[in-house]
Amino acid sequence: MEYLMIILDNAAPSFCHYDVVRQESEIISCEILERGIEFAEKNALEITAIYGMENLPIEHRQLLDAVPHVRILPYLKDSVFSDDDIVVLNGSHDSSFPYRILDREITHLVVTVRLQDAKKLYSFIENNRRFFKRISVIFKDLEQADEQMLNDFRLALQKFIPLLFNMLSYERFTEIGFATDRILLSEMNNCNAGVTHVTLAPDGFFYICPGFYHDCSPPVGSPEKGIHIKNPQLFHYSHASICKKCDCFQCKRCVFLNKRITLEVNTPSHQQCVASHHERNLSGFLLEKMQKRGIMANLPKIDPLFYLDPMEILDR
């Protein structure tokens, strides 16, 4: 393990594919937070703290101020963000999205939006691109996507090409997760929940990730008893036969979605694979277009594929 995520508030906003089912704010107790910090220090784990909408009591702030940690924070009007913060904006619940204009610069912005609303991102990115250095987009409701929704997603991504080409070619380089990550990666760079990190929840137990906590999955340990993951090898890339055939290096390989849709943590769903391949194809087209202008000429090309789901070639 490399780091420990700590959910500070049950109602902290989702920054990934899971939904927050505990809507009422319930802040982690000081005792559990302290035990989590002690566990991280004892095991040389970095800490990522997931903040909610409510202000933390002074005792909690003092504990966190005493240790280095990355903050995952909801986008709130009066909040002060540092360069290391990850700021979350829920595009599905924000009534002003996608026309909201950010009021300050954010180093890393995470936007969650429904897959069928992907086209709305265009206006948001166009109007706010000077305010963020990186934007990571989490497309929600993948488990509900049918072939029509996935094809509509492909068409929505294609409409981004002129905007993204201008941003990457003529403006400062901005990381647009679903478009630029695959261009810059040469190997898998996935979530790795259960491999490089686990999550401490307000109930005092460890979970594979916040999604497993909110989905009421069994815990995998506690600060007192340590981390005990059943069949831990299944969370590793080396035991994901489908993913080993794939070069969608930007895919999150979300084990929470895997378990929820396919019932196996190492088996991605058809929806996750197809959506990731549409992102890959967007990256390939953008890179080809830029290389024709002599931009990023040293990067390897992203060759087109004849399939969208590695399951189609698994036995070849």
pLDDT at 315 over 70: no
| Residue 314 clears pLDDT 80, i.e. is over it | no
What is the average per-residue pLDDT within 134-158?
97
| The pLDDT of residue 316 | 58
Instruction: Average the pLDDT over 146-160 and give the result.
Output: 98
- At residue 92, the pLDDT reads 84
Averaged confidence pLDDT in the chain? 95
Alpha carbon distance 269, 169 (integer Å): 34
Give me the domains of the chain, ranges plus CATH numbers.
3-184 (3.20.20.70)
pTM score: 0.96
